[in-house]
Amino acid sequence: MEDFEKIILALPKGRILDKAVDLMLKSEVMPEKDFKNPDSRKLRFSTNDKDLDLIRIRSADVPTFVAFGAADIGIAGQDDILEQDYPELYVPLDLKIGICKLVIARSADLSTRNDNLSLSYEKVATKYPNITKSYFEKIGVQADCIKLNGAIELAPSLGLCETIVDIVETGETLKANGLVEKEKITDISTHLIVNRASLKTKPEKINKLINRFAETVHGKAA
Ligand code: PRP
């Protein structure tokens, strides 16, 4: 029988996974052996805490699983949290990993010719159409977004658009594709997110887990 008192923690696959797992281990959440087995096709794992299971899903899906209560708590980038903007999510803790920024970038050639984002209309390739539209609206520009799921930096050189909105960490991908940053939209880091209803129905277990992560991030309270 399914134990509805169990809580489920959603971990993001991809570049943040190792850092998220490291924080989780330091917070004394130890997954079952299969979690580390590259041949395993399992997506849900038990832990050393019988009341806590893990799921490993695509990073952009973490806010969705948590907002709909399929997971109670999750580790998600602020980019995905802001883009999806679910009111069901409570965001209690900055985990201070996955630090990067969301920027507007254009081709380096174009930037020297026509330096400002001064047009009233921009075609923009991005994974983040909601954030992009509302940011451009604020600066008085109508943005027509082309939604891509990756390799955004290719779009200008292939004539899909002149402008992109994407994540920058080291800046290497922009540089390697002849693009320059024009404007920062926001700084980004990875946060703990919680389903508000779960927090009401299982406050002890969820608060215990939030506190364990908080102690790991900020150091044990004196
Ligand atoms: C992210 C982002 C940029 C790149 C930035 O892509 O979308 O492309 O990292 O990193 P940098 O500034 O250190 O070069 P990711 O590697 O997650 O792959 P994706 O293109 O599939 O989104």
**pTM of the predicted structure, to 2 decimals:** 0.92
User: In 136-161, which positions are buried (b, 16+ CB within 10 angstroms) versus exposed (e)?
Assistant: beeeebebebeebeeebbebbeeeeb
Three-state DSSP state, 89: strand
For the chain, percent of residues with pLDDT exceeding 70: 93
21-79: pLDDT as tens digits:
999 999 999 999 999 888 999 999 999 999 999 999 999 999 999 999 999 999 999 99
* pLDDT at residue 222 in the model: 45
For atom 3 of ligand 1, the residue with the nearest CA is 167
Pairwise CA distance, residues 81 & 189, whole Å? 10
89-123: pLDDT as tens digits:
999 999 999 999 999 999 988 755 555 556 688 89
Residue 219 CA, chain-centre distance (Å), reads 24
For atom 15 of ligand 1, the residue with the nearest CA is 150
Domains of the chain (ranges plus CATH)?
Answer: 3-98+189-218 (3.40.190.10), 100-188 (3.40.190.10)
Q: In ligand 1, which atom is closest to the CA atom of 100? A: 12
Type of residue found at 22:
D
Helices (H), 151-202: 172-176, 196-201
DSSP state of 23: H
Q: In ligand 1, which atom is closest to the CA atom of 175? A: 14
Ligand 1 neighbours (beta carbon < 6 A): 15, 150-153, 166-173
